[in-house]
Amino acid sequence: MIRDTLGDYTQKAEPARLLDAGIESILILACGTSYHAALIGKYIMEELLSIPVRVELASEFNYQALTLAKAGALTITQSGETADTLKAMRKLKNMGCPVLAITNVVGSSASRIADQTIYIRAGPEISVAATKSFTAQLMVLYWLAMSYSKADARRLADLVMGIRQLPKKVQQVLDNEDEIMECAKYLAGYENAFFIGRGINFPVALEGALKLKEISYIHAEGYAAGELKHGPFALLSEDVPVIAIVAQDNTYEAMLTNIKEVKARKSPVIALVGEGDEDIDQLADLVITVPKGDAMFSPVVNTVALQLLAYYTARQRGCPIDTPRNLAKSVTVE
Ligand code: AGP
């Protein structure tokens, strides 16, 4: 799917008129998993497009009184039918703001409201929990940012090489299921869990927690690792495992410190780390290794590993993985 999405876009996609229109800032609106993709999009676009990106929950945007001078809006919605996102899109249109929709469903309401639509081409997604659509949303955000990038030629060449290596790296994660299943067996015995990450992997911690709570019914929360000491530390104990996303980037040392702080408060640690990382081996109770690469693309391999962790944990707990209780694939009510 990643290869197809990339192939399609590098060869055929029409330019995004929104980014051609000389906008000075971007507002991204979405809900749930799509909102987590939007948060990652902010890191990608601010680095490559050098313009400010603001991300808002569509459900909250409807209560905000903000002005959008020279701004363009992106709305991300797998189904294209999420009521909160559609209402926000209509509000944007009434404000005269150009709207580009990123969706998976051709002919959906979102594609009819938007000025332009980019399809993520993930194919039909059956299970309530969004998985492949999330990865495909990230592919489109990478493509958009790289296509309009202000980065120097050297950086762009590295990114092109990095994104082309993603299918192989994701396959490596899928092939590493034994290690992930061992962590899932361990995690299945708990009722609460924290996910922590920093920088571009903070939203990955949010998404990992959402996937686990959606399909395994474990009460999981995602946090920016730097926030734990401002309150959540109070909840740590031997009954609350922490899944720490340790990327090989400028957040590495700070994440090591966070793991030591969490261990000092008796919480077991499952660390998601780049292959060949001995330091973490000493610190963490369990480790999930992922292929190394450009930090910009680490959310893809890390998220696939956390999707598998949630899947095997839910299976271990005998949960109905594709049809979790109390949830709908497309939330058409506000
Ligand atoms: C994710 O697994 C959930 N199904 C849910 O959070 C979903 O992402 C949210 O309802 C938004 O849906 P959309 O992308 O179709 O707008």
pLDDT in tens, the chain (334 residues): 777 776 655 555 566 776 777 789 999 999 999 999 999 999 999 999 999 999 999 999 989 988 788 899 999 999 999 999 999 999 999 999 999 999 999 999 999 999 999 999 999 999 999 999 999 999 999 999 998 898 999 999 999 999 999 999 999 999 999 999 999 999 999 999 999 999 999 999 999 999 999 999 999 999 999 999 999 999 999 999 999 999 999 999 999 999 999 999 999 999 999 998 888 888 999 999 999 999 999 999 999 999 999 999 999 999 999 999 999 999 999 8
* 85 neighbors 75 (Cβ within 8 angstroms): yes
**Pocket lining for ligand 1, CB < 6 angstroms:** 31-34, 77-79, 82, 85, 128-130, 214, 330-331
* β-strand pairing of 242-246 with 269-274: parallel
Please choose from 61, 75, 78 the residue to mutate so as to test ligand 1's pocket, defined by most ligand atoms within 8 A of CB. Answer: 78
Query: What tokens were used for 125?
Result: 């997604």
Query: What tokens were used for 220?
Result: 């999981």
- Predicted local confidence at residue 11, as pLDDT: 52
Please choose from 28, 29, 34 the residue to mutate so as to test ligand 1's pocket, defined by most ligand atoms within 8 A of CB. Answer: 34
- Predicted local confidence at residue 238, as pLDDT: 98
- Predicted local confidence at residue 66, as pLDDT: 80
Q: What pTM was computed for the model?
A: 0.97
Q: What is the mean pLDDT of the chain?
A: 94
- Listing DSSP states for 145-206 in one string gives HHHT--S-HHHHHHHHHHHHTHHHHHHHHHHTHHHHHHHHHHHTT-SEEEEEE-GGGHHHHH
- Centre of ligand 1 to C-alpha 251, Å, is 29
- Which residues, in sequence order, are CB contacts of 320 under 8 Å at separation 6+? none
- Predicted local confidence at residue 3, as pLDDT: 76
Which residue minimizes the CA distance to atom 4 of ligand 1? 129
- Centre of ligand 1 to C-alpha 30, Å, is 9
DSSP run (H or E) holding 110? helix 109-113
Q: Ligand 1: which atom is nearest the Cα of residue 79?
A: 15
Question: Which residue in this structure is represented by tokens 């039909």?
Answer: 124
* 89 neighbors 117 (Cβ within 8 angstroms): no
